[in-house]
Amino acid sequence: MSHAGEHDRPSDVADVTVVMPARDGAATVGRAIASIRRQTRLPARVVVVDDGSRDGTADAALAAAGPLDVQILVNEQPMGSGPSRNRAVEVATTRWLAFLDCDDEWLPGHLAAVMDAAPGHVLVTAPAVDSAGHPRGNTSGRAVRVTSARCFVPDNVVVTSCTLVARQAVVDAGAFRALRRAQDLDLWARVLEHGTGVALAQPGGVYHLRPGPPTQTSNDIDRECVQQVLRDNAGRPWMNARVRDGCLGRMEWDDLRLAQREGRRPDVVRHLRWFAAHPAAIPGLVQLLATRRSARRHLARTGAGAP
């Protein structure tokens, strides 16, 4: 199923396919596609993968297409975001892939910015501002080199909905694995074995927070999936104790701070003991705290907030 608008598209069309997984996204997919239409440089095609939706997501995507060439792929049963993205990768014929989830949106100059930065790299990403006004991704205020290890420690600077990747590098890396969470983190680390990456300084999109606070169950799933990614990449040359423990240390630190705020002294002691037993995590923790301080200063200086 595809749709191309009746109006002529601008001549400045980028050699890129937008990959958009969508499950029950009828309420938001139009907003996401509208943000693509507002780009100063348009993509060659948008591939929306309707992942077993029951709310008219595909129809909503086509209704929002306008002059864009929008192709709809439908999974009769939900497959998850990773396998859904893989379907779009398979049908793409462009050199580049740009990722945008159906509940997020791009700022108008995003696609032009990442395309301009792409020569010489296999991955270009930009930070985002979430709908509460908090920065995500590269919060340093300057462009940052991205490597496989940098995806894990001191923090992950790759925001999937603001990321451009060479299609061949995705194919060579084996595409997305069918993980419950963190499948994008897992792929970016493998893609960056095939070339260099850069995280730009200028925000490229808006990350819309899901309604309601995270549950303990979702936090546990996130942790389990990240730990699985760390285990599965254990044999790779960039996955050493500093990267592994630095990534785990970030989660331990956040849990420690939460235990402090809630007055759970035994848990505070337990997390401190973890750091004592994993000294390789300390350099990453020091970097993490410095990064977060820098992000707070940058936020105060620029006055960034929710769009």
3-state secondary structure of 165: strand
Highest mean pLDDT: which of 87-101, 199-213, 223-237? Answer: 87-101
CA angle 258, 263, 264 (to 5 degrees): 80
Indicate if the pLDDT at residue 307 is higher than 70.
no
Strands 123-125 and 135-136: unpaired
Over residues 273-299, the mean pLDDT reads 89
CA angle 156, 161, 166 (to 5 degrees): 85
Q: How confident is the model at residue 242 (pLDDT cuts 50, 70, 90)?
A: very high
Helix H or strand E segment including 46: strand 42-51
Token pair listed for 209: 């927070």
| pLDDT score recorded for residue 5 | 46
pLDDT tens digits, one per residue of 27-58: 999 999 999 999 999 999 999 999 999 999 99
The sheet carrying 105-106 orders its strands as 105-106, 205-207, 128-130, 135-136
| pLDDT score recorded for residue 291 | 84
Beta strands in 82-186 (DSSP E): 96-99, 105-106, 123-125, 128-130, 135-136, 144-146, 163-166
pLDDT tens digits, one per residue of 55-101: 999 999 999 999 999 999 999 999 999 999 999 999 999 999 999 99
Q: Above pLDDT 90, what percent of the chain? A: 80
Tell me the C-alpha distance between 116 and 2, whole Å.
Answer: 28
CA 293 to chain centre: 22
Other beta carbons within 10 Å of 261 = 8
Over residues 11-17, the mean pLDDT reads 87
Over residues 9-31, the mean pLDDT reads 89
DSSP string, 169-219: HHHHTT-----SS-HHHHHHHHHTTSS-EEE-SS--EEEPPPSSPPPHHHH
Of all residues in the chain, what percent are helix, strand and coil, respectively (each to 5)?
40, 20, 40
| pLDDT score recorded for residue 297 | 76
Q: Read off φ and ψ for residue 125, nearest 5 degrees.
A: -130, 160
Q: How confident is the model at residue 159 (pLDDT cuts 50, 70, 90)?
A: very high
From the list 254, 265, 257, the residue with the least C-alpha distance to 219 is 254
Indicate if the pLDDT at residue 196 is higher than 60.
yes
Indicate if the pLDDT at residue 217 is higher than 50.
no
Residue 118 CB partners (closer than 8 Å, separation 6+): 96, 124, 164, 166
pLDDT tens digits, one per residue of 166-195: 999 999 999 999 888 899 999 999 999 999
Contact criterion met (CB below 8 Å) for 20 and 48: yes
- Torsion sign, CA atoms 216, 217, 220, 221: negative
Indicate if the pLDDT at residue 20 is higher than 60.
yes
| pLDDT score recorded for residue 67 | 94
Tell me the C-alpha distance between 187 and 170, whole Å.
Answer: 8
Q: How confident is the model at residue 212 (pLDDT cuts 50, 70, 90)?
A: low
Contact criterion met (CB below 8 Å) for 103 and 32: yes
| pLDDT score recorded for residue 55 | 92
| pLDDT score recorded for residue 6 | 37
Over residues 89-116, the mean pLDDT reads 97
Over residues 196-216, the mean pLDDT reads 84
Q: What is the mean pLDDT of the chain?
A: 91
